[in-house]
A and B are shown apart, each in its own frame.
Chain A
Amino acid sequence: MIFFDKVSKTYFDGQAPAVFDITLGVEPGEFVSIVGHSGAGKTTLLKMLFAEVIPSEGAVFFGSREVGKLSNNELLKLRRNIGTIFQDYRLLSTKNVYENIAFALEVAGRSDEDIAGDVPHVLDLVGLSDKIWSFPHELSGGEQQRVAIARAIVNQPDVLIADEPTGNLDPINTHDIVGILKKINDLGTTILLTTHNKSVVDSIGRRVVTMDQGRIVRDDKDGKYSL
């Protein structure tokens, strides 16, 4: 479903590549944890999937289509089909929880009636029904990340990319977020997760890809965290 075909990325001429000659395939429904030190190239690899970073060499395929060759409109459609969550949550600060989630549905062209039905449902899934009219600055870090997850999954994407989603959270919130991600994966969504957190990777107990200096150094089907 997702295939990185010999991709490399060099940001500045003369510098070492952030990602070098990576070939990696991900099947539908998989939960893949990508681990490695800071600067190992994890985030660069993920960003290539939704064309926020363009590879210097090689190609990225989503299904049968090459991401780098998509038109502007096709790219927008692709992004609506990939949910993304980040360490810094990236919520729209002037919009409340309802509007943040509704925004993702609106850009996908959903009707107001659908939106009014789907937003409370997805908030219920992440356990935030009572915060529907709160603004991001009124929420804790864990709550903000749950809103980000709700926004990422509300369009029922095929793939969810989680880039260090627990990096700013305490152990209890981390545990909750991992639980939600597992639940989403059980419902059939492919998940690509990057993390530094050993206990997170070990508790998931699924495929682990280890990166070092822009290369893949291990790829274990039922892996544990090891650097």
Chain B
Amino acid sequence: MPLWTTIKRIARYGFVGFVRNGFVSLSAILMMTIMSFMLVNIMISNAAMTSTLQDLTNKVDVTVYFQTNASQEHIEQIQKSLQALPEVASIAYVSREQALADFRERHQNDQLTIQALDELGSNPLGASLEVRAKQTSQYESIAKYLQAQQDSQEGAGASIDKVNFYQNKTAIDRLTKIIDTSEKNGIAKTVFLAFCALLIVLNTIRLAIYTARDEIGVMNLVGAGRWYVRGPFMVAGVLYGLVSSVLVLILLYPILLYRPVLIGLDPTTELLFGSFNSYAYYTGHFLLFFFVLTGTGIALGALSSYLAVRRYLNS
């Protein structure tokens, strides 16, 4: 028999079985829909966490303040040596004049401080370098490097007035821990929920196929090959996944816009996450959601059916 004819017949029986076993299909679709919403919850929560941590991370830096009499040559020397460090992501130079202008702007409503500054006559502020690391855990080593330069009191190191990392150390350490923990928790949560979802879907489809176990026996008896028996069930499994993922993709629009709490996304969490907006994230990453949800649904449906039918083919 031509392969195309076999595929066509398997697809037709899969589709017909999907329609005729309406209630069984409906329960499988509902289960897979719940699973897909769980997946969406994980994806959006992880994205929100990552975005928030990214915001916070961007606010952290190590600042090197130079003496007021530090030469431009020394500052450039330190800047070059920092650029050579693999941990360093970027360095921003703030000149003495810029520092003074920033200071005036920050204290424009504080007449007393401005007056005191004017009375000094000269600029009391030194130039500085704001250093960003690639990862928060790397600030410590950058700060240590700068501290060692300062402690040596030789060459450019003698021009360093202060390294402010140690004032922020507690905050940076805490942030590093939060990032590490949330990443580990995120992975653990994802793996655990994915495992639960797999079990739930597998059992739902197994139950659906359990009702057809006698028919599988009859198909074996009339001489149907293994793929001819399991094929239509796998097609139905793929349809469960496809229909449920399309359903979720459509429902996500109103849910994320009006009631994210329906899929376990707490609005207070959204407030905590500040600028992150789950609806905007969803619409902006629609293709990602489309491929993840349909891909997972199709793969899970087909795999669950394959495993469930195998049990009765072997018996």
Task: Tell me the A residues contacting B by CB distance below 8 Å.
Answer: 50, 52, 73, 76-80, 84, 90-94, 103-104, 106-112, 151
When the two chains form their complex, are residues A80 and B218 in contact, meaning their CB atoms are under 8 A apart? Answer: no
User: Within the complex, what minimum Cβ distance (angstroms) separates A132 from chain B?
Assistant: 16
- A106 CB to closest chain B CB (Å) equals 6
Contact A94 B17 (CB under 8 A): yes
B residues sitting closer than 8 Å to A (CB atoms) are: 1, 5, 9, 16-17, 20-21, 212, 214-215, 217-225, 228
- Apart from the given pairs A92-B218, A111-B5, A112-B5, 10 other A-B contacts in the complex at a CB distance below 8 Å: A73-B225, A78-B223, A84-B221, A84-B222, A92-B219, A103-B222, A103-B224, A107-B228, A109-B1, A151-B222
Per the bound structure, the CA–CA distance linking A92 and B217 in Å amounts to 10
Assess whether A104 is in contact with B222, with CB atoms less than 8 Å apart: yes
Interface centre among B214, B215, B222, B225 (most CB of A within 10 A): B222
With A107-B224, A107-B225, A107-B228 known as contacts, the answer to whether A94 contacts B20 (CB < 8 A) is yes
Compute the total of residue contacts between A and B using a CB distance below 8 Å. Answer: 50
What DSSP secondary structure best describes chain B's contact surface?
helix
CA distance A171 to B228 in the complex (A): 38
Known A106-B9, A109-B1; judge A79-B222 contact (CB<8 A): yes
Inter-chain CA distance A93–B216, complex, in Å, is 11
Please tell me if the beta carbons of B221 and A79 are within 8 angstroms of each other in the complex. Answer: yes
Q: Which residues of A contact B219 (CB under 8 A)?
A: 92, 103, 107
Is the beta-carbon distance between B221 and A76 smaller than 8 angstroms?
A: no
Q: Which residues of A contact B212 (CB under 8 A)?
A: 94
Are B21 and A94 interface neighbours, CB within 8 A? yes
B-chain residues with CB within 8 Å of residue A50 when the two chains form the complex? 221
Asked if A52 contacts B221 (CB within 8 A), the reply is: yes
The answer to whether A79 and B214 touch across the interface, beta carbons within 8 angstroms, is no
Q: CA A65 – CA B293 in complex, angstroms?
A: 51
Can you sample 29 A-B contacts with CB below 8 Å?
A: A50-B221, A52-B221, A73-B225, A76-B223, A76-B224, A76-B225, A80-B223, A90-B214, A90-B218, A90-B221, A91-B218, A92-B218, A92-B219, A93-B215, A94-B17, A94-B20, A94-B21, A94-B212, A94-B215, A103-B219, A103-B222, A104-B222, A106-B9, A106-B228, A107-B219, A107-B222, A107-B228, A110-B1, A112-B5
